[in-house]
Amino acid sequence: MQGKQGEIARFDPRARRRIEDKGLRADTTDVLNKGEARHTLARAVAFHRLGRFRDRNHDQQSHRAAALNLVTACIGLFNCRYLDRAVDELRRRGVDIDDKRLRRLSPLGWDHINLTGDYVWSDAPPYDVDGMRPLNREPDTLAA
């Protein structure tokens, strides 16, 4: 080990283990990436890229923060439900999906969710019996 990593590892044996163990290093990176993804989602939901809370008193800020946590949790749940359905569909088609790779998958993507406040409602949404929209289906080339 060289440079700053070597200096840190010299003082903290746990740091040495994190640096030397490739699997632990990958797990740590995954956790950090998921944390960053959660913060990015929270910024998008809370500010819609305006940059800051505008509430002046503590109660209003706490209320807004609680609502932010609720909305980001709902987005995570929504994505988890659809990711589960997508994985089941791919496995049904014969695609081999490694559970170790699924463990690293984050449900915090939000590009498919409209956060602008402009909403389009259709007269007859195509929901199934579980109240979920159908998956976007690709051709069966995925199983090949």
User: Does residue 143 belong to any structural domain of this protein?
Assistant: no
- For residues 90 and 137, the answer to whether their CB atoms sit within 8 Å is no
The parent domain of residue 55 ranges over 3-133
User: Does residue 10 belong to any structural domain of this protein?
Assistant: yes
**Hey, what are 34's tokens?**
């998921």
User: Does residue 141 belong to any structural domain of this protein?
Assistant: no
- For residues 48 and 71, the answer to whether their CB atoms sit within 8 Å is no
User: Does residue 139 belong to any structural domain of this protein?
Assistant: no
Please tell me the predicted confidence (pLDDT) of residue 50.
60
- For residues 43 and 50, the answer to whether their CB atoms sit within 8 Å is no
- Counting the structural domains of the chain, the total is 1
Mean pLDDT, 10 residues at a time, the chain of 144 residues: 58 71 75 79 72 73 81 90 90 90 82 72 75 73 49
Please tell me the predicted confidence (pLDDT) of residue 144.
46
User: Does residue 117 belong to any structural domain of this protein?
Assistant: yes
Contacts (Cβ under 8 Å, ≥6 apart) of 5 = 15, 19
